[in-house]
């Protein structure tokens, strides 16, 4: 099984955590009346004698398995019925809430024939975050008015006129009612959807006269069902006239008409239910928004065509969940997307009577969107960002806009109590901590297939010192957890984010308390050595809420905010600069150094013979082979200047995936070195007289318009404006500042940028593709990139973090250094170019710059995290200060 990419993970989170506006549903039965209606109807439109046969349909069998999984019972209909019966007896309110999870608000058509057996539409408010609203069904209103006025008026024409006036009055009242957000017609069930553009008045009067006569005849039956050609169409036209007139008089204010189309019970004539029959009516009222319900199934393409061709038409893709098989549902989504804009697609459960109908609809649409959109992303028909936007539009944005609900799109991963965006907390059901069921099943098969090779699953995290730590779970234990449904996580002390490299806790860190470390299985890769499989993990509280001190979660949160608030996504490409040294045999030397440099053999930057050294064949080539087998395809390897120094260039990838891959690749190279008797180190200045070791990252904005200067220049201006504070995270060790020199192609000492200039910390390459050179391997890469990307995205000029972008050769207030090194420019010209600050000269100075930069602290990272980071780094610096130079160098090489 190939590793699931971070892009897939982003899409999965969007599909499962974007709140849903259910734009068409029906009331729930009261507990006392549940037994009057067949539970089998939750997965079938069949009625009467045909209903029992539905138990042999793919839709029913799938629904049984899904309900059984949630209920924790055997996957049989009998077991599901018993389990639901127990819920009705012992905790029906809680069960209803579980069934409605994920739904933000419900728009309720309360005209379904069930009378006093059902709750009112506001009943849903007990289970959803948003308030429910009404969809007014017009046929019951029209029928009630006909009944009233046929008995009062002696003349059919007078009765028709009275009904007309009363109906218009009711529609206008509904237009003014803030609880009503739309109307519904079931003319599809009654006389079909072929509503003529112009009504034949004589036919209308003739049809109504017949209704009037029969109702007033001796023994005439109460008029309850409007099913009369010419009359049904008349009331739909009256409604459209009211909406059009209101829109003209109230400055474009309108409420849509929902039309049942396609799929229905045996009361419908299927051949007259195609939405294509509505085309003339749609043309007659271009000012009236119309929502064509239920996917138009089986006439789905016709539905998509109408929504694509007419501005006032919207396509609802509800009801097919759960009434169709999985393939049928996927076909519906694919057919709609063949032509229909995603901005015109709505979704609904069409839930009715039983809460289980809502649960099944939500579970199944998530499965289907995951399959279909992931396929489109994989084929590059969509980017991940476009697929996520499509999910948010279909689930939420389109209904919110069309029905004027005024709701705020807030993922279930965002907490309501947070005052600052950077401090938002999230609650994720434990099931969301791992992959979806299908992926968990695939993982189980993968592990079983590897059972003879793989013995441990490693779950890594990075602490505040940048130390890579992990827990190893035996594969048999992992399989057991997957098969029993146990949460796939391990406990880790909360003190883990307050430890030095010596495992000593810094002041203020308590040994009490525990977090859960959840492996992100999208990062699953074989390695770093034979018999082990590695993942990166996220910390969560036991209740599922996010941990503010978790570095990987911090980067994920920053990336989500950049996408939501600024529409920005990023691609990163890392260059791993590393030094390989030989371990000394026996006791340490007199200097205390445990590692010795490799013999030179004329080693130099990019020299060919350096790739023939035994260390290149034994370590570098072996590591590249392991990485290739794990799906990490190294792009280039070459020698750097110092003896035993090499650079390994990784492929560009979405930001979080790129950082995950970087850390995995480092682990692989280190493991290969250790197995051959070498030590790989990332020490930024291993030899005072030789070139330093960096961790350069190439950044580009991958969202649409990323290479537009109006997009990327404010981004990089934001980074430059806060560069001194960012240095505390990118140059995170006292040793980092040993590398900080001018004239060494290491980025220099001035806050500046230059096109293809390696003496500036930011090197512009092409468009939004820039290189950050002020970064080394001692940093916690999640925190460093969260700070850099978050600062550029959230604190750039568009949000007040820097000055305007100015002319082409200027970013904010900083001019392009071009080929000139900032250190060689006169002070006067540097000032003119906006180059007025130097990168801090020490970690202590950088930490002070971070502490006083309120925007980076409050908006990007969060105060709690920054305070803990600063405390740890100051304690680390004090620890290193007590060591001699040689001891300090060896100590760092042992750990990095």
Is residue 283 over pLDDT 70?
Answer: yes
Regarding predicted confidence, which is higher, 430 or 650?
Answer: 650
CATH 3.30.590.10 is right for the domain spanning 569-895: yes
What would the two tokens of residue 767 be? 């468009």
Q: Where are the alpha helices (DSSP H) in 676-817?
A: 709-721, 723-730, 736-739, 781-794
Is residue 392 over pLDDT 90?
Answer: yes
CA atoms within 13 A on the CB side of 734: 18
Helix axes 355-378, 58-71, angle to 10 degrees: 110
- CA distances to 91, 539, 693 from 640, in Å: 67, 37, 9
What was the pLDDT predicted at 2? 40
What would the two tokens of residue 568 be? 């920005």
Is residue 429 over pLDDT 50?
Answer: no
3-state secondary structure 59-107: HHHHHHHHHHHHHCCCCCHHHHHHHHHHHHHHCHHHHHHHHCCCEEEEE
What was the pLDDT predicted at 624? 87
Regarding predicted confidence, which is higher, 834 or 429?
Answer: 834
What would the two tokens of residue 784 be? 């460093």
What would the two tokens of residue 194 be? 């072929």
Which is nearest to 875 in space by CA: 551, 585, 564, 498? Answer: 498
Per-residue b or e along 800-819, where b marks 16 or more CB atoms closer than 10 Å to that residue's CB: ebbbebbeeebbbbbbbbee
- The arithmetic mean of pLDDT across residues 620-643, rounded, is 84
Token pair 């570098």 in the structure block, residue? 620
- The arithmetic mean of pLDDT across residues 727-753, rounded, is 83
Question: How far is Cα 399 from Cα 392, in angstroms, rounded to an integer?
Answer: 10
What was the pLDDT predicted at 445? 61
Q: Helix, strand, or coil here: 772?
A: strand
* Confidence band, pLDDT 50/70/90 cuts, at residue 593: low
Is residue 800 over pLDDT 80?
Answer: no
Mean pLDDT is highest, among 382-391, 526-535, 604-613, 615-624, for 382-391
Regarding predicted confidence, which is higher, 480 or 560?
Answer: 560
**Residue 766, beta-bridge partner list:** 769
Question: How far is Cα 524 from Cα 535, in angstroms, rounded to an integer?
Answer: 5
The residues, ordered by sequence, that sit 6+ positions from 166 with a Cβ below 8 Å of its Cβ are 145, 148, 149
What was the pLDDT predicted at 440? 57
Is residue 390 over pLDDT 80?
Answer: yes
Contact by Cβ (8 Å): 140, 220: no
- The arithmetic mean of pLDDT across residues 339-365, rounded, is 92
Is residue 793 over pLDDT 80?
Answer: yes
Among 185-194, 234-243, 818-827, the least confident range: 818-827
Q: Helix, strand, or coil here: 580?
A: strand
Token pair 């994720």 in the structure block, residue? 428
Instruction: Give the neighbor-by-neighbor strand order of the sheet with 345-346.
Output: 20-25, 103-109, 133-137, 180-185, 257-259, 290-292, 313-316, 345-346
Helix axes 201-216, 138-152, angle to 10 degrees: 60
3-state secondary structure 464-515: CCCCEEEEEEEHHHHHHHHHHCCCCCEEEEHHHHHECCCCCECCCCCCCCEE
Region of 743 please: left (phi>0), alpha (psi -120 to 50) or beta: left
Question: How far is Cα 750 from Cα 413, in angstroms, rounded to an integer?
Answer: 40
For the stretch 194-234, pLDDT in tens is: 999 888 888 889 989 898 888 888 888 888 888 899 899 99
Question: How far is Cα 254 from Cα 619, in angstroms, rounded to an integer?
Answer: 69
Is residue 541 over pLDDT 70?
Answer: yes
Is residue 434 over pLDDT 60?
Answer: no
Question: How far is Cα 207 from Cα 40, in angstroms, rounded to an integer?
Answer: 39
For the stretch 314-338, pLDDT in tens is: 999 998 989 999 999 999 999 999 9
Mean pLDDT is highest, among 250-264, 534-548, 854-868, for 854-868
Is residue 426 over pLDDT 60?
Answer: no
CA atoms within 13 A on the CB side of 73: 16
Is residue 261 over pLDDT 90?
Answer: yes
- CA distances to 102, 113, 155, 169, 212 from 208, in Å: 46, 24, 11, 20, 6
CATH superfamily ID and name for 95-402 = Metal-dependent hydrolases (3.20.20.140)
Every domain of the chain and the residues it spans: 95-402, 421-547, 569-895
What was the pLDDT predicted at 675? 86
Contact by Cβ (8 Å): 108, 134: yes
Question: How far is Cα 129 from Cα 105, in angstroms, rounded to an integer?
Answer: 7
Mean pLDDT of the chain: 84
Which is nearest to 180 in space by CA: 137, 226, 145? Answer: 137
Question: How far is Cα 616 from Cα 609, in angstroms, rounded to an integer?
Answer: 10
What was the pLDDT predicted at 533? 85
Contact by Cβ (8 Å): 303, 314: no
Among 297-306, 645-654, 714-723, the least confident range: 645-654
The topology under which CATH files domain 421-547 is Ubiquitin-like (UB roll) (3.10.20)
Give the distance, in angstroms, between the CA of residue 525 and the centroid of all CA atoms in the same chain. Answer: 22
Is residue 801 over pLDDT 60?
Answer: no
Among 4-8, 32-36, 229-233, 499-503, the least confident range: 4-8
Question: How far is Cα 643 from Cα 691, in angstroms, rounded to an integer?
Answer: 10
- The arithmetic mean of pLDDT across residues 715-725, rounded, is 92
Regarding predicted confidence, which is higher, 602 or 186?
Answer: 186
**Residue 470, beta-bridge partner list:** 460
Contact by Cβ (8 Å): 595, 583: yes
Token pair 């007139």 in the structure block, residue? 245
* Confidence band, pLDDT 50/70/90 cuts, at residue 743: low
């Amino acid at each position: 099984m190939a590793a699931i990419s971070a892009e897939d993970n982003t899409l999965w989170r969007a599909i499962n955590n974007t709140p849903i506006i259910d734009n068409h549903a029906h009331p729930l039965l009261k507990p006392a009346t549940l037994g009057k209606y067949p539970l089998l109807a939750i997965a079938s439109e069949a009625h009467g004698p045909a209903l029992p046969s539905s138990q042999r349909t793919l839709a029913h069998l799938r629904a049984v398995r899904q309900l059984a999984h949630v209920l924790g019972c055997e996957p049989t209909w009998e077991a599901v019925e018993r389990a639901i019966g127990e819920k009705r007896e012992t905790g029906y309110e809680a069960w209803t809430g579980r069934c409605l999870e994920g739904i933000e608000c419900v728009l309720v058509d309360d005209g379904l024939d069930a009378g006093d057996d059902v709750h009112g539409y506001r009943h849903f408010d007990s289970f959803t975050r948003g308030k429910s609203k009404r969809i007014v069904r017009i046929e019951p209103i029209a029928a009630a008015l006909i009944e009233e006025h046929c008995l009062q008026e002696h003349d059919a024409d007078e009765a028709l006129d009275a009904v007309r006036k009363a109906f218009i009055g009711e529609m206008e009242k509904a237009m003014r009612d803030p609880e009503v957000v739309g109307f519904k017609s079931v003319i599809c069930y009654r006389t079909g959807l072929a509503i003529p553009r112009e009504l034949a008045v004589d036919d209308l009067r003739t049809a109504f006269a017949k209704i009037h006569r029969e109702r007033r005849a001796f023994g005439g039956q109460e008029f309850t069902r409007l099913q009369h050609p010419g009359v049904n169409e008349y009331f739909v036209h009256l409604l459209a006239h009211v909406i059009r007139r209101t829109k003209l008089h109230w400055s474009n204010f309108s409420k849509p008409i929902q039309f049942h189309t396609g799929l229905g019970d045996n009361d419908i004539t299927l051949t007259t239910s195609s939405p294509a029959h509505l085309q003339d009516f749609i043309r007659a009222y271009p000012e009236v928004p119309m929502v064509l319900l239920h996917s138009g199934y089986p006439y789905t393409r016709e539905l998509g065509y109408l929504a694509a061709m007419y501005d006032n038409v919207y396509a609802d893709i509800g009801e097919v969940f759960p009434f169709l098989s999985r393939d049928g549902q996927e076909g519906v989504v694919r057919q709609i997307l063949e032509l229909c804009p995603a901005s015109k697609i709505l979704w609904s459960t069409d839930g009715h009577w039983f809460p289980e109908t809502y649960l099944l609809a939500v579970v199944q649409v998530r499965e289907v969107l995951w399959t279909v959109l992931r396929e489109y992303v994989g084929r590059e028909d969509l980017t991940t960002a476009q697929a996520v936007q499509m999910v948010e539009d279909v689930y939420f944005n389109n209904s919110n806009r069309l029905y004027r609900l005024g709701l705020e799109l807030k993922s279930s991963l965002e907490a309501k109590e947070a005052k600052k965006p950077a401090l938002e907390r999230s609650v994720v059901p434990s099931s969301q901590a791992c992959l979806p069921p299908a992926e968990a099943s695939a993982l189980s098969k993968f592990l079983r297939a590897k059972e003879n090779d793989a013995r441990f699953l490693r779950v890594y995290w990075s602490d505040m010192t940048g130390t890579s730590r992990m827990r190893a779970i035996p594969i048999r234990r992992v399989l057991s957890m997957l098969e029993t449904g146990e949460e796939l996580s391990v406990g880790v002390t909360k003190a883990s984010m307050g430890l030095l490299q010596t495992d000593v806790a810094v002041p203020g860190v308590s040994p009490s308390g525990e977090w859960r470390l959840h492996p992100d299985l999208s990062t699953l890769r074989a390695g770093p050595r034979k018999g082990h499989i590695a993942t990166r993990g996220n910390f969560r509280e036991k209740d599922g809420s996010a941990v503010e001190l978790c570095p990987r979660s911090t980067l994920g949160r920053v990336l989500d905010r950049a996408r939501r608030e600024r529409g920005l996504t990023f691609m990163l490409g890392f260059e791993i600069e590393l030094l390989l040294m030989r371990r000394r045999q026996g006791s340490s030397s007199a200097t205390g150094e445990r590692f010795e440099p490799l013999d030179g053999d004329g080693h130099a930057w990019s020299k060919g013979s350096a790739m023939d050294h035994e260390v290149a064949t034994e370590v570098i080539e072996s590591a590249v082979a392991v990485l290739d087998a794990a799906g990490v395809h190294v792009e280039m390897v070459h020698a750097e200047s110092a003896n035993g120094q090499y650079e390994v260039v990784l492929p560009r990838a979405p930001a979080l995936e790129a950082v995950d891959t970087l850390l995995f690749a480092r682990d692989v190279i280190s493991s290969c070195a250790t197995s051959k008797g070498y030590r790989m180190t990332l020490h930024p200045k291993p030899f005072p007289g030789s070139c330093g070791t960096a961790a350069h990252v190439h950044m580009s904005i991958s969202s649409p318009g990323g290479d537009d200067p109006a997009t990327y220049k404010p981004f990089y201006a934001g980074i430059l404006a806060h560069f001194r504070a960012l240095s505390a995270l990118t140059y995170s060790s006292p040793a980092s500042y040993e590398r900080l020199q001018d004239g060494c192609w290491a980025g220099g000492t001035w806050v500046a940028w230059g096109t293809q200039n390696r003496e500036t910390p930011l090197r512009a390459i092409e468009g939004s593709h820039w290189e950050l050179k002020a970064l080394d391997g001692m940093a916690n890469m999640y925190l460093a990139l969260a700070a850099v990307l978050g600062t550029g995205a959230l604190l750039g000029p568009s949000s007040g973090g820097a000055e305007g972008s100015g002319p082409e050769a200027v970013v904010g207030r900083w001019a392009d250094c071009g080929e000139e090194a900032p250190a060689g420019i006169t002070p006067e010209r540097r000032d003119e170019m906006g180059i007025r600050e130097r990168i801090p000269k020490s970690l202590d100075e950088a930490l002070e710059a971070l502490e006083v930069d309120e925007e980076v602290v409050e908006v990007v990272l969060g105060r709690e995290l920054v305070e803990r980071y600063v405390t740890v780094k100051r304690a680390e610096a004090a620890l290193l200060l007590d060591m001699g130079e040689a001891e300090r160098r060896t100590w760092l090489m042992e750990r990095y």
